[in-house]
């Protein structure tokens, strides 16, 4: 009898409750926060991951839920709700970009004990870099110039252009990401939160140092995947 009552209550709760699930979570890191030292400090990685990236995760989840809620009542007051959808969509653009860009950023980094900084000139990516840029050093200089050219906050990307079948360097502002025919292979964060605690205003030093912990195996894997897509 008691069991039966509980069962009825459970069914009633299930029928009236909207269960919210967390749609996006932080990606798992394959190394400890301090493992990229001395190039990127453990303190920076910890704050960058647990505070900044978490903010984009939360913002994406919250604003996606708001969008769904607004969309469900669009017909009740179309113009007013459309304005609200427009505003929420801009929040989704910002936070989804932050979420996506940082997921790639973490995957693009590895301690030297796990191959960070090791570039294979003989790999398909290595051969493409030599063909297009002459050497890895030339490519790094061009990306560093892109990073230095970001005024305020933004990102630099090494991409594969599926239409021209070539590598392309792109910089974006805020949390804008690359889409369409551009497949991002490598993302480097030029926001101050990525370096300021260690490098202060010497961001060029950060842009040089990060090459010591770039996970080229991941970049090469993404390049080879993009060739067959
Ligand atoms: Fe960041």
Q: Is 193 annotated as a binding residue?
A: yes
Indicate whether 77 belongs to any domain. no
Average pLDDT, the chain: 92
Domain limits for position 174: 112-228
145-200, pLDDT tens digit by residue?
A: 999 999 899 999 999 999 999 999 999 999 999 999 999 999 999 999 999 999 99
* Domain presence at residue 50: no
- Please enumerate in sequence order all residues whose Cβ is within 8 A of that of 45, keeping only pairs 6 or more positions apart, or say none: 33, 34, 36
Q: What is the pLDDT of residue 20?
A: 56
> Is 189 part of any known ligand binding site?
yes
Residue 166 Cα to ligand 1 middle (Å):
27
Distance 131 CA to ligand 1 centre (A): 31
CATH number at residue 147: 3.55.40.20
Those residues whose beta carbon sits under 5 angstroms from the ion ligand 1 are 189, 191, 194
Name the domain count of the chain: 1
> Does any domain span residue 97?
no
Give pLDDT tens digits along the chain (229 positions).
334 434 444 444 444 445 455 689 999 999 999 999 999 999 999 999 999 999 999 999 999 999 999 999 999 999 999 999 999 999 999 999 999 999 999 999 999 999 999 999 999 999 999 999 999 999 999 999 999 999 899 999 999 999 999 999 999 999 999 999 999 999 999 999 999 999 999 999 999 999 999 999 999 999 999 998 6
Ligand 1 centre from 202 Cα, in Å? Answer: 17
Residue 157 lies in a domain: yes
Contact 129, 136 (CB under 8 A): yes
- Whether 126 is covered by a domain: the verdict is yes
Q: Is 174 a domain residue?
A: yes
Whether residue 11 is contained in a domain is answered as no
From the CA of 38, how far away is ligand 1's center (Å)? 18
Is residue 207 in a domain? yes
């Amino acid at each position: 009898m008691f069991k039966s009552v509980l069962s009825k209550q459970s069914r009633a709760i299930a029928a009236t409750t909207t269960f919210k699930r967390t749609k996006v979570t932080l990606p798992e890191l394959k190394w400890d926060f301090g493992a990229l030292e001395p190039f990127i400090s453990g303190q920076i990685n910890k704050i960058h991951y647990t505070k900044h990236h978490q903010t984009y995760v939360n913002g994406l989840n919250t604003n996606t839920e708001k969008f769904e809620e607004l969309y469900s009542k669009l017909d009740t007051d179309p113009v007013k709700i459309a304005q609200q959808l427009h505003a929420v969509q801009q929040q989704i653009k910002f936070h989804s970009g932050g979420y996506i860009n940082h997921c790639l950023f973490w995957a693009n980094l590895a301690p030297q004990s796990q191959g960070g900084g090791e570039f294979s000139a003989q790999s398909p990516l290595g051969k493409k870099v030599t063909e297009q840029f002459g050497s890895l050093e030339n490519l790094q200089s061009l990306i560093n110039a892109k990073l230095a050219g970001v005024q305020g906050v933004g990102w630099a990307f090494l991409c594969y252009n599926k239409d021209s079948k070539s590598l392309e360097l792109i910089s974006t502002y805020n949390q804008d990401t690359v889409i369409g025919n551009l497949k991002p292979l490598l993302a480097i964060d030029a926001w101050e939160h990525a370096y300021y605690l260690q490098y202060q205003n010497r961001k060029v030093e950060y842009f040089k140092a990060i090459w010591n912990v770039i996970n080229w195996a991941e970049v090469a894997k993404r390049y080879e995947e993009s060739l067959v897509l």
